[in-house]
Amino acid sequence: MSQEVNIPEVHSYSQILQRAKDKTREQRVRAALVDVSDINILKAFARAEAEGLIDAIVFGDKALFQKICDEHGIQFENVQMEHAFQRDLAVINAAKMAFDQKLDLIVKGRVFTADMLTVLFDLGSYFTSKEQCVSHVAVLKPERYDKLLLLSDSAVIVQPDLKTKLMMVRNLIDVAHLIGIDKPRVSVLAAVESVYPQMPVTTDAAVLSKMAERGQIKSCYLDGPLSFDISVDMFAAHAKGVVQSEVAGQADAMLAPHIEVANGIYKAMSLFGRCETGGVIVGGRVPIALGSRVDSAESKFNSIVLGVLAA
């Protein structure tokens, strides 16, 4: 039982960036931006190139790309331009380039996430395989929390069953390891901390918790069901009687029961929690740096940094 909050060595986005720089010191990640109409993603993409993280490839309207860059003073050292009028065609060409091992990372521009994923999933083995789960992992750094907080899934998987949740947990653990959290504390979220058969998400959480207890889920601490407050606040955990837990009050990662919960947490934290954000889709042939269309250039840069580590 942990009485004090355990703070991993890596607990900030500046440390994540340093890990990405260390990884790309000798070889940059080949990153393709799909669509060029979003100013903030162009700024973030140019910064990633300037920081030495990526070799930049752009799929989109060449004239529009040049116009936006000129108007906003966005400069690239050396960019490979792949002209494409249609967004769907840009996504398809990027996926095929990844399939041919000529690309390490896809970066989403002003493309609807659902539209982009529909195209990618329709391509079958060009992007996915039946053995892998494609899921979104957000990495949050709230101002009032001393740790990074991973969250899944606010963008891809709508209503996961137990088997899918198990694969999502493994993706969460993998991303935690990539950013430097060796043994993440994973909270399986629910509205309550007790198991009620009439609330299936609590029984799913209990099954995952028992699997972790018996070593079927490795390289993490995992507990659930836990409510959000119990997951991140030690006082709330102890006040509600949850004291025999390595996760309660100090979660590094949270698995939400469905997309509405995860998406609500992500947007509430980013809008009202004074929270640094970023996100990456993992499980496909290459990762996808993905945030909300309304995210800042800084947040979109964070997503690219996560994608670089996942590549």
Domain extent listing, the chain = 13-184+252-310
More confident residue, 4 or 110: 110
The reported pLDDT for the residue numbered 134 is: 93
Mean pLDDT of 164-168: 97
Residues paired with residue 276 on neighbouring β-strands, in sequence order: 141
Two tokens at 96?
């095929």
Domain spanning 13-184+252-310: CATH 2.60.40.1180 = no
Mean pLDDT of 24-31: 96
Q: 122-158, pLDDT tens digit by residue?
A: 887 778 776 789 999 999 999 999 999 999 999 999 9
Q: 260-279, pLDDT tens digit by residue?
A: 999 999 999 988 888 999 99
Contact 120, 129 (CB under 8 A): no
Mean pLDDT of 198-218: 96
The reported pLDDT for the residue numbered 22 is: 97
The reported pLDDT for the residue numbered 113 is: 85
Q: 225-238, pLDDT tens digit by residue?
A: 999 999 999 999 99
φ/ψ (deg, to 5) at 177: -60, -40
Strand pairing category for 288-289 and 279-282:
antiparallel
CA distance 23 to 53: 8
- Tell me the HSE value of 35 on the side-chain side, using a 13 A CA sphere: 21
The reported pLDDT for the residue numbered 3 is: 61
The reported pLDDT for the residue numbered 2 is: 46
| Whether this model's pTM surpasses 0.75 | yes
Q: Residue 88 — very low, low, confident or very high, per pLDDT cuts 50/70/90?
A: confident
Q: Is 180 exposed, middle or buried (0-12, 13-18, 19+ CB in 10 A)?
A: middle
Mean pLDDT, all residues of the chain: 93
The reported pLDDT for the residue numbered 116 is: 87
φ/ψ (deg, to 5) at 223: -145, 150
Residue found by looking up tokens 């909050």 in the block: 5
Task: Give percent above pLDDT 70 in the chain.
Answer: 98
Q: Which residues of 6-35 are buried (b: 16+ CB within 10 A; e: fewer)?
A: eebebbebeebbebbeebbeeebbbbbbbb
The reported pLDDT for the residue numbered 125 is: 76
Q: Residue 102 — very low, low, confident or very high, per pLDDT cuts 50/70/90?
A: very high
DSSP symbols for 144-175: T-SS-EEEE-SSS-SS--HHHHHHHHHHHHHH
Q: 39-59, pLDDT tens digit by residue?
A: 999 999 999 999 999 999 999
Please, what's the largest Cα pairwise distance for the chain?
61
The answer, yes or no, to whether residue 178 has pLDDT greater than 90, is: yes
The reported pLDDT for the residue numbered 130 is: 66
DSSP symbols for the chain: ---S----S--SHHHHHHHHHHHTSSS-EEEEEE-S--HHHHHHHHHHHHTTSEEEEEEE-HHHHHHHHHHHT---SSEEEEE-SSHHHHHHHHHHHHHTT--SEEEE-SS-HHHHHHHHHHTGGGT--TTS--EEEEEEEETT-SS-EEEE-SSS-SS--HHHHHHHHHHHHHHHHHHT-SS-EEEEE-SSSS--TTSHHHHHHHHHHHHHHTTSS-SSEEEEEE-HHHHH-HHHHHHTT--S-SSTT--SEEE-SSHHHHHHHHHHHHHHS-EE--EEEESSSS-EE---TT--HHHHHHHHHHHHHH-
Two tokens at 156?
């891809």
